[in-house]
Amino acid sequence: MAEIEFAGMTFKGGKMMVVLTALSTLGGALWAGFEFYKDYMDMKEIVQNIDVSQIEARNNEIEIKLEEAIAYTRDIKGSLRSDIDRIERVTDSTGNRVKTLQDDIDERLREVSKLTRETEKDVRDQMRNLEDRIEADMDKLDEELRETLQKALDNPLSDS
């Protein structure tokens, strides 16, 4: 079996493995500590080189642009609101005008329909009166013609 002697102590078998594991763990921890310290020092140097006034100036620029964007957005919102209100007013006005025109057209159509019915009635009445007069005139003419024919037949020698 393998033996290791260290500082007057002899290590065999399982103890040797424990010592090797402990030494490797201790070495890994020291290496990790060194890397952490190196990263810390690098970050410390970076933090010390940061220009706070430049960051503040950039933040102020961003805040100003953000405020301008908010103001511009509010202006757009107000403009859109006024445009929508104007469109609603125009739409309402147009709707009212269309309704008024529709009502006027409906009223005129009723008047035209009424006038057409009255005109049709007047034309029919005039046609009946004309038919009656023509018929009466025809009857009278027929009667006169019969009388004249009868007279002519009754007296063939007369010159009537």
In a domain, 9, yes or no: yes
**Sign of the torsion formed by the C-alpha atoms of 29, 31, 36 and 40:** positive
What domain range includes position 40?
Answer: 1-50
Q: What is the mean pLDDT of residues 85-95?
A: 95
In a domain, 121, yes or no: no
Amino acid at 148: T
Structure confidence at residue 100 as a pLDDT band (50, 70, 90): very high
Q: What is the mean pLDDT of residues 41-51?
A: 85
Count structural domains, the chain.
1
Q: Would the pLDDT of 22 be above 70?
A: yes
Q: Which pair of structure tokens corresponds to residue 7?
A: 């500082």
Q: Count of CB atoms within 10 A of residue 152's CB?
A: 13
The rounded radius of gyration (Å) of the Cα atoms in the chain is 62
- Provide the pLDDT for residue 159: 59
Phi first, then psi: what are they for 9, rounded to 5°? -115, 145
Q: Would the pLDDT of 158 be above 70?
A: no
In a domain, 103, yes or no: no
- Total residue length of the chain: 160
Compute the 3-state secondary structure of the chain and give helix, strand, coil in percent, each to the nearest 5: 85, 5, 10
Q: Would the pLDDT of 39 be above 80?
A: yes
In a domain, 113, yes or no: no
In a domain, 16, yes or no: yes
In a domain, 40, yes or no: yes
In a domain, 26, yes or no: yes
